Amino acid sequence: MNLPGTFTLGPGDGSARTGRLTTAHGEIETPVFMPVGTQGTVKSLCPDDLRTIGARIILGNTYHLYLRPGDELVAKMGGLHRFMAWDGPILTDSGGFQVFSLSGLRRITEEGVTFSSHIDGSKHLFSPEKVISIERNLGSDIMMVLDECVPYGADRAYTEKSLGLTTRWATRCRAAHAPLDRGQLLFGIVQGGFFKDLRAESARQLIDLAFEGYALGGLSVGESRAEMYDILYDATPLLPADKPRYLMGVGAPRDLLAGMAAGIDMFDCVLPTRNARNGTLFTFQGKVNIKRAEYREDDSPLEADCPCYACRTFSKAYLRHLYVARELLSYRLNTLHNLTFFSRFMAQARQAIREGRFEAFRTAMEAAYPETDA
């Protein structure tokens, strides 16, 4: 068994690549999509479901788990793997993004970011050292540094100033967690907004800090697809080729394809789980809005060749009924299907890259997911 942090590249196709990342809780084949388990659960699924649908690594949110039930409690319960009975790899983000998107009254200083809890309004400080301590308590296999996700539309001066703070925070995170300590990996997050030279500067500064992997942050923050792709294609090659590259918060099938084409190895997004709960289902023929009247008497499965329990057992008519009736089983079946689709989509993408036919795969999938449809 390789040491955690070992990243071995497999066959590639253009800039798209396959790889294998070793973590303390197992190996991950890349490119990989990570289902989001915000509060220590991938909503409506149990760990057995995650194994059945082929999930290899899941994401937990440091911000949420710190506020509730508390990272010290999770540590006392043996860490997040034991607490949630998931023995596969877990990546925890640093919480910075959630602080900006969820909490009120936040203030950024050199020390860190102070904020009030969205749950009870209590005051908290996330410093680089505090965030690393929380992620170490959770026992995550891959920890993310504390960074500032620069808001979309920030001007150059603000973006440049923020980049410097993000690097100083990354430096403090690295100092707080020695490489591979307890088998826990630490990834840096490149910022720099939508300024290519600032992105290059951020990447250069973080590469000097020798992280075990590198993420592109500050994207999927409200920009147009063209703006995201412009930065994606320009910044990804700046990340070390021999380390995992993670595009945070992405995304829709079309964006996964673009990310893989650019050389991204890891993705996470709430899309498949959140859309499952609002009746939007993903298939290889495109999206299905299960609440549509056209499915009212449709006795056929959602996707004939999908191996998931929902498709093997129930008709579209029944899935539609459950959704319209707001039955709890709707969340579970729709989530089982959507995550099975994302898992199959990534497995087919990996195979296409290995066989040198990724562009053909991308073209076929983009036909099912046209620009307007994401």
| CA-atom Rg of the chain in angstroms | 20
Neighbouring-strand partners of residue 283: 286
Q: Which of 95, 210, 73 is nearest to 139 (CA)?
A: 73
96 binding partner (options Zn ion, ligand SQO, none; Cβ < 5 to 8 Å by kind): ligand SQO
In the numeric block, the tokens 């995650």 are attached to 50
- Is residue 268 among the annotated active site residues? yes
**At its nearest, how many Å lie between ligand SQO and the CB of residue 135?**
13
User: Which of ligand SQO, Zn ion, none sits in contact with 311, Cβ below 5 to 8 A by type?
Assistant: Zn ion
* 104 annotated as ligand-binding: no
Question: With respect to ligand SQO, which residue has the nearer C-beta, 187 or 358?
Answer: 187
Active-site residue flag, 234: no
Each residue 6-45 as x (binds ligand SQO by CB under 6 A) or -, in order, gives ----------------------------------------
Q: Is 246 in the site for ligand SQO (CB under 6 A)?
A: no
Q: Is 272 in the site for ligand SQO (CB under 6 A)?
A: no
Q: Determine whether the annotation assigns residue 164 to a binding site.
A: no
Closest approach of ligand SQO to the CB of residue 371, in Å: 17
Tell whether 222 is in a known binding site. Answer: no
Q: Is 118 marked as binding a ligand? A: no
Residue 290: closest CA among 326, 251, 256: 326
Place of tokens 């991204």: 264
Which of 169, 171, 160, 189 is closest to 112 using CA atoms?
A: 169
Angle, helices 253-262 vs 358-368, to 10°: value is 160
Buried b (16+ CB within 10 A) or exposed e, 234-250: ebbebbeeebbbbbbbb
Residues taking part in catalysis: 93, 268
Annotated binding site for substrate: 93-97, 147, 191, 218
Annotated binding site: 93-97, 147, 191, 218, 306, 308, 311, 337
